Chain A
Amino acid sequence: MNKQILTFALLTLLSIPAWAQRDYRVSKNNGKLIVNLQGARIEGYDGNEIIFSKAGTVEEEDERAKGLQVLSSTGLKDNTGLGISVVEKDGNIEVFAVGNQNDEELLRIRVPRQMGVVFHNDNSFMADSLLIKGIRGEIEVSTSYNEVRLEDNSGPMNVKSVYNGVEAVFNPSITGPISIVSVYGHVDVSLPAATKATLSLSTSYGKLYAAEAFDIKTEPKSMTEKTEPSIKAVTGDPAAETIFPDMPAVPPTPPVAIGSVSEQIEGSINGGGTHIILKSSYKNVYLRTSS
């Protein structure tokens, strides 16, 4: 029995290096963190360092690559040992992938929570999930394929996703404006029921859903009011009327909804306040209460 326990302990000890967490730290607590990766888990914390860490199995060492350096067509060098390049530029920290990323685990980045976070992954089909959590600074996300999840961030934020959905859960202290848009994905946002917000919800081909608890007060904006200017723009030709006064007046074209039958709601909850824009072209928009 003792031998079995000893063997198990030894095996566990030996496996630790293979699963070791690798860290890279940068002293920084202001400016922005600009991330250009396939995906990441970015978490705000109360500290003065940006900590990049990767957990999981360490890649098998390539004997042939000993003494050589990973090259990238971008010209960047892995200066962290984590397969990423971290450089400071204009007071911000920029992160780029160096070479192909084959890791199973997401890169975890712990950021001083007051810093701004920018994530870009527009030009790559390679996309993991993106989680941004506990950030009090400004957030900017622009991605084509990432699943985006935002938790406990205060805003302001501008989030765009082309092919996948965006989910966001807010805490009571929200700073606007907040704009979340997706073309082919859903937009699902949870807000505290007491949030004072001015809302703009829209979808071209999907549906808009909202929790009853919000009691959205829509602005009295009639269809006629919205389309009247377009009629003027189309038919308003005072010169023609002056030149041909005897001609019968051309009846204005009735407003016709051409193309998509879109849904748009401009309104407010709890008297209005923080501007929140939620938009999806092809999928639904959900606005629910957070616990």
Chain B
Amino acid sequence: MKDDLKDFVNKHRDEFDHLDPSADVLQRLHAQLQTDRDRINKNKTVFQRLPYIPWLAAASLLVAVLSAYWLFNINRPTTDQPLAATKLLTDEHQPTGHAPANTSTNPIETEEAPPLSPPSQQAAAKLSKNLHSRTNAVLTAPQTPSFATRLRDSSSASTRLAAILEIEQNQQLNHRSLTLLAQTMNRDGNTNVRLAALDVLGQHLDQPDIVDIFQKSLVEQDDPLVQLGIIKIVSQLDDGEIDRTLFSLAEDPYTFRAVRDEAYAVLLKKNKL
């Protein structure tokens, strides 16, 4: 198909290439371009015209947040402060030479701790000043379940064992913890936990109720391993009731054989047979 226009352009290509617009036309074109540029700039937003503005805004926001954080926290004790105070109080009640297993407060010690001496006026003022913030800090801190709660945790024998080991490290027993340990020794579903409770009780033979606890446990204990442990401990005691219980155990045909043998051995060495 013949294209006249194409032929014309091809024929006069050189002339087109070297054809310059006149100076007047060029000037008008420049003026037109400048007008267009101004119009576009007018339509642009501030952010488009000044590209560094968003970065400036972000930096300002960051500075504002950091400043606000600093201002809010300048009068607030850090989380270390209440923890340190707690540790100091706890340390006062710790027996010497035995560090606590961790920084968690032992509820038994807390229950039995004597009331602290009243704080001085200066200390009281400081305390009231920071009371709100301290309360917040304590409330947000993770709470360690009490010893009794952990001993009742039927879902984990290790939790119960850990609670007993913690008490063992503290080396202080009151009547309540003594009762809890005795219950654990007699009724816990796990032998290892019972044995741990027995070990702790065995270290407190100076407690007034301890002989009674062991005597009753010998009667109602249904775990042979714990029975063996109890016999080992009560062999140090000279108590008529315990000897009678040992004799009953030794005579009972349903008693686990090792328990029977151990009971006989103790009675024999005490010359009670």
Contact = CB atoms under 8 A, between A and B. Distances in A.
Contact of A258 (B165, B195, B211, B266): B266
A91 B10 CA distance: 88
B254 to A, nearest CB: 15
A184 B258 CA distance: 9
Contacts of A155: 158
Given A138-B156, A229-B204, A230-B236, A158 B190 contact: yes
Contact of B235 (A142, A183, A233, A258): A258
A156 interface: yes
Nearest to B98: A219
Contacts of A253: 238
A135 interface: no
B224 to A, nearest CB: 7
A227 B192 CA distance: 24
Contacts of B191: 142, 158, 160, 181
A156 B238 contact: no
Q: Secondary structure at chain B's binding surface: helix, strand, loop or mixed?
A: helix
Interface in B188-231: 190-193, 195-196, 199, 203-206, 210-211, 224-225, 228, 231
B14 to A, nearest CB: 78
Interface residues of A, number: 39
A233 B265 CA distance: 22
B239 interface: yes
Interface string A252-281: 010110111010000000000001010101
A159 interface: yes
B192 A259 contact: no
B269 interface: yes
A204 interface: yes
A232 interface: yes
A238 to B, nearest CB: 11
A183 B158 contact: no
Contact of A259 (B203, B205, B269): B269
A177 B210 contact: no
B240 to A, nearest CB: 11
B258 A157 contact: no
Interface string B120-161: 000000000000000000000000000000000000111001
A179 B232 contact: no
Given A140-B190, A162-B224, A183-B258, A234 B161 contact: no
Q: Which 4 A-B pairs have the closest CB atoms?
A: A156-B158, A229-B206, A158-B192, A179-B192
24 contacts: A116-B156, A142-B191, A177-B165, A179-B192, A181-B195, A183-B224, A183-B228, A204-B228, A204-B232, A227-B236, A229-B205, A232-B205, A233-B211, A234-B238, A256-B269, A258-B266, A258-B269, A258-B270, A259-B232, A259-B265, A259-B266, A260-B262, A275-B161, A275-B162
Given A234-B238, A259-B232, 5 more contacts: A158-B158, A158-B161, A162-B225, A258-B235, A259-B262
Interface of A: 116, 138, 140, 142, 155-160, 162, 176-177, 179, 181, 183-184, 200, 204, 226-230, 232-234, 253, 255-256, 258-260, 262, 275, 277, 279, 281-282
